Amino acid sequence: MTAAPQVDLVIPVHGGWEFVRSCIRAALAQSVPAHVIVVDDLSPDDTADQISAEFPDVTLLRNEVNLGFARTCNVGMAAGDGRLVMLVNSDVVLQPDAVAAALGALPDDPASHVGSAATLLLAPDGTVDSYGIVADVTGAGFVRFHGAELSKADAEHPPVLGPYGAVAVYRRAALDEVGLFDTNIFMYGEELDLAFRLRAAGWSCVAMPEPSGVHLGGASAGRESARQRRLSGFARGYLLRKYGVLRSRWGLRALLVEAIVTGARLVLRRDAVSLVGRWEGWRRGALAQRVTLPLDAVDSSIDLRLSLRMRGEGYWAARD
C-alpha cells in the first residue's frame, strides 16, 4: 500500500493556461510525489476545463466567485491534510527535487519550531527572483536578493523573516496554530502578514540552500501593472493599521517613507494608484484585530535611507 503524500502542493490559478500547464507538469514530475491541489479562482478563460481534461490526477477545485489570491490559497490549504503545505504560483516551474528538498528542510519532528521554509527561486535569465522576505522596523517587507547573481544569495544574511509567496513551504502544525492567510488581503502582502504571525507565535523560518524552481513572474496581475500597484498599496496600508505601526515609535518614519514613495510616483509619473491603494487598505484595516509587530523578527539594521534604497529595482544586484 502506497503511503499518503506528506506534502500538499497547492497551486492557485486565475487564467494563463500556458503557464499553468508547465507548472502542473513540473508539480506532477517530482522525485517525491505530492498531493497536487489546483484551485481555479474563476479564471476568465477555459483554464479550469483544460486542467480537468489534461490532468485528471490532480485535485481540482473551482471557486464560484473570484476570491483573490489569499482566499484561494486558503481554499487549497484547507482541502489537504499533509504534514507540509507547499504553495506554488501558477507561473513557477519547480525543479524535480523541490518537494524532496522541502521535506528535508522541515523534517517530521514534533519538537521542531521551524514553521516555514523560504525557497530560492530563479528568474528566467538565471538571476535570483526571490529568496524569502525580510522586513524593517516599520513592517515594510522586501524580497531578498531579487535581481542579484545567484552567487550572492545568502541563506542567513540578511535574516530571513519568512517565505516569499511564489513558492512558500509551511508546517501544517504551525498553520493550525496561527491560522491561514488574512482574508482581508486580496493579493500581495499576505505572506508577510503570515510570517509576522508565525514569528510572534515562536515559529522560525529556514532558508533552503538550493534553487527550487524558476519564477516567470506576474502571470495573474501583470508585472508593475496598475492593478498590481493598487493591490500592493492596499496591503501596505492595511498592514500599517493592523500592526499599529503609526502609533509606535516608528510611526513618524513610516509616514515619511510612505510620503516619499507615493509622492514620487504622483509627481514624477502622475500615478496616484499606489496612494489610492494605501488609503483603501488603511480603511479596511479598521476591520482587523490589532496585533503587535514582532520586532525581534525584523531586521533593525535597515535604517530609513537603506529602506528607500531597497525599494529600487537594482539594489540587490549592486549590493556587495
Domains and CATH numbers, the chain: 7-215 (3.90.550.10), 226-300 (no CATH)
- The pLDDT assigned to 270 comes to 86
- What is the tens place of the pLDDT at every residue in 61-78? 999 999 999 999 999 999
pTM of the model: 0.95
Residue 213's region, left for phi above 0, alpha for psi from -120 to 50, else beta, is: left
Question: Which tens digits make up the pLDDT trace of 271-302?
Answer: 899 999 999 999 999 999 999 999 999 999 99
Q: What is the pLDDT of residues 74-86, one digit of tens each?
A: 999 999 999 999 9
Average pLDDT over residues 32-47: 97
Q: At a CB cut-off of 8 Å and minimum separation 6, what does 98 contact?
A: 30, 86, 119, 167, 212, 213
- Reply yes or no on whether the pLDDT at 224 is more than 80: no
Sequence-distant (6+) residues with CB within 8 A of 99 are 7, 9, 30, 31, 32, 33, 34, 86
Mean pLDDT of 211-221: 75
pLDDT per residue over 102-160, tens digit each?
999 999 999 999 999 999 999 999 999 999 999 999 999 999 999 999 999 999 999 99
What local confidence, expressed as pLDDT, does residue 223 receive? 55
What's the mean pLDDT in 247-264? 96
Percent of the chain with pLDDT over 70: 98
User: Mean pLDDT for the chain?
Assistant: 95
Residue 21 reports pLDDT greater than 50 = yes
Q: What angle do CA 225, 169, 112 make, to 5 degrees?
A: 145
- CA–CA separation, 118 vs 133, rounded Å? 8
For residue 222, is pLDDT > 70?
Answer: no
